[in-house]
Amino acid sequence: MRAETLKGHLDFLLLATLADEPAHGYLIIEELKRRSAGAFDLPEGTVYPALHRLEQGGLLASSWATAAGRRRRVYRLTARGRRALAGARREWRGFTKAVEAVVT
Amino acid sequence: MSYLSELSDELGAVGIRGSRGRRIMAEVADHLASGGEVESFGSPPLIAQRFADELATAGTRRLAWLSFVALAPAGIGFGLLFVLLRPGPDITSAQTLAVGLAAAFTMVLAPQIALASGLLALALGWRIRAETVAPAAAVRVLRRRVALAIGCGALTLTAVATYGFEYSGQLPGWWPIAAYAVAGTLLLPLGVAGIALARTARLRPQAGGMVTDVVGEISQGQPWRFCLLFAAAVGLVALVGGGLDEGPRNAVAEIVLICASFAALGRFLGLRT
């Protein structure tokens, strides 16, 4: 899938990836690839600006953690992020249902 | 040159330094050490520019709201002081006439510019509310509107305190003290907004695209016609509100001030080309 197609949905995908548990950037990207069976192929570095922006917008929070002697930034959903994710899920389900009804 | 040092240079080139720059570098270093590859991460110029574009869009948009929140109490404090003052002192009774007149003139002009710039900033902030990356031109215009709104808000409060000092002999005893307290207290949130603006202004976004604004759509390519219609509407309000004695004088003054401000600041605020 082209990065251009993914652009409008990246925030939603990142929030959904973090819904279960906090994660650092590399793990988030790996999880995105795993869940999409490799379909989401975008320059990995573009995920980090989105994470910073979502944090700036109050949808994510982050803190430093240490693993294997390295400092890493771990992201988690805030209450506002959970509400945004629930809204985005509802909207997405309505949209896909409507598209499905038209194209099949 | 290694990938990380090239990225560090590129981040610096787009205005990302200090704690934000160090944090990004630590995250990228951790990503690469965790198994990520340089080839799939993206080129340093692309990543740095992406950071600048996204952070500048989100930060400047938030700044539009923040500046308006900082200006609102200043506007209320300013309004209350003058509602409670009527009738005002003799304009020629200042301790130093030139300073008193300058303060009085600033108190008429600066709050109107602050209000107009603040509203224009809000309108553009609202327009790009859903944008992940707004055109760099829109970010620049939004920053200018915020800067002018904050600057004129601070100028208004300073003029209020100066006015209180200059006309203290003719004013009720409580008024200058209230003016100093209002100005001193309400300059603080404007200072906070100013610091936030300075931080955001360091970022150098480059995303292409035009500024689309509600004012541009209303004026439909004829900004001066829009200015004259707006000035006429404000003049009408001033005419009706001022009554027979002050109405005509106030209306003419408002129309002249709006047109002069539009001529002086219209291009700076992105209202005309």
Query: What is the pLDDT confidence band of residue B15, given thresholds at 50, 70 and 90?
Result: very high
For chain B, domain boundaries = 3-42, 58-207, 213-273
Interchain contact, A53 vs B58, CB within 8 Å: yes
Does B18 contact A at CB distance below 8 Å?
Answer: no
- Quick count: other Cβ atoms within 10 Å of Cβ A66? 8
Listed by start position, the domains of chain A span 3-103
Architecture of domain A3-103: Orthogonal Bundle (1.10)
At residue B213, does pLDDT exceed 90?
no
Judging contacts by C-beta atoms under 8 Å, the chain A residues touching residue B20 are: 52
Q: Which of B26, B58, B132 sits opposite A71 (nearest CB)?
A: B26
**pLDDT reading at A3 higher than 70:** no
Mean pLDDT of B13-26: 95
Give the nearest partner residue to A44 out of B20, B33, B42, using CB atoms.
B42
Whether residue A6 lies within 8 A of chain B, CB to CB, comes out as no
Q: Using 50, 70 and 90 to split pLDDT, how confident is the model at B87?
A: confident
Percentage, residues of chain A above pLDDT 90: 68
Q: What pLDDT does A2 receive?
A: 57
Whether residues B27 and A73 touch (CB distance < 8 A) is answered with yes
Query: Who's near B18: CB < 8 A, 6+ residues apart?
Result: none
* Of residues A25 and B83, more confidently modeled: A25
pLDDT in tens, A39-59: 877 778 889 999 999 999 899
**What is the pLDDT at residue A7?**
67
Q: Are B128 and B61 in contact (CB under 8 A)?
A: yes
Provide the sign of the torsion angle of the four alpha carbons A100, A40, B28, B17, taken in this order: negative
Beta partners for B130? none
pLDDT for the residue A42: 73
- CB-CB neighbors (< 8 A) of A7 in chain B: 132
More confident site: A69 or B78: B78
Q: Identify the closest residue of chain B to A49 by CA–CA distance.
A: B51
Chain A residues in contact with B51 by the CB 8 A cut-off are: 48-49, 52
Task: Report pLDDT for B25.
Answer: 96
Residue B53 pLDDT > 90: yes
Is the pLDDT confidence value at B120 over 60?
A: yes
**Are A46 and B50 in contact (CB < 8 Å)?**
yes
DSSP H/E element including B266 = none
The position carrying tokens 């279960």 is A20
Rounded distance between C-alpha atoms, residue B185 and residue A33, angstroms: 52
Tell me which chain A residues have a C-beta less than 8 angstroms from the C-beta of B132: 7, 10-11, 50, 53
Read off the amino acid at residue A30.
E
Residues of A in Cβ contact (< 8 Å) with B30: 24-26, 70-73
Per this entry, what is the length of chain B? 273
Residue A61 C-alpha, separation from nearest chain B C-alpha, in angstroms: 14
Q: Which chain A residue lies closest to B7 (C-alpha atoms)?
A: A45
Residues 127-166 of B with CB under 8 A from A: 132
Partner A contacted by B30 (CB < 8 A): yes
Mean pLDDT (whole number) for B209-226? 79
**Residue B25 Cα, gap to closest chain A Cα (Å):** 11
Q: What is the pLDDT of residue B6?
A: 95
pLDDT score of A20 more than 80: yes
On whether any CB of chain A is under 8 Å from the CB of B3, the answer is: no
Instruction: Answer whether residue B26 shows pLDDT above 90.
Output: yes
The answer to whether residue A25 neighbours chain B at the CB level (below 8 Å) is: yes
Q: How many CB pairs under 8 A join A and B?
A: 80
Cα separation values, B36 from A31, A40, A50, B30, B238, Å: 13, 15, 18, 9, 65
pLDDT single digits (tens) B166-196: 998 888 889 999 999 999 999 999 999 999 9
Does any CB of chain A come closer than 8 Å to the CB of residue B6? no
Q: Average pLDDT, whole number, for chain B?
A: 91
Per-residue confidence (pLDDT) for residue A85, from 0 to 100: 96
Of B237, B83, B88, B77, nearest to B157 by C-alpha is B77
Strand-pair partners of A64 = A73
pLDDT of residue A6: 66
User: Does residue B211 register a pLDDT over 80?
Assistant: no
ipTM: 0.88
Inter-residue contact B153 to B71 (CB < 8 Å): yes
Q: A4 falls in which pLDDT band (50, 70, 90)?
A: low
Mean pLDDT over B46-74 rounds to 93
State which of A24-38, A64-78, B145-159, B246-260 shows the largest mean pLDDT.
Answer: B145-159
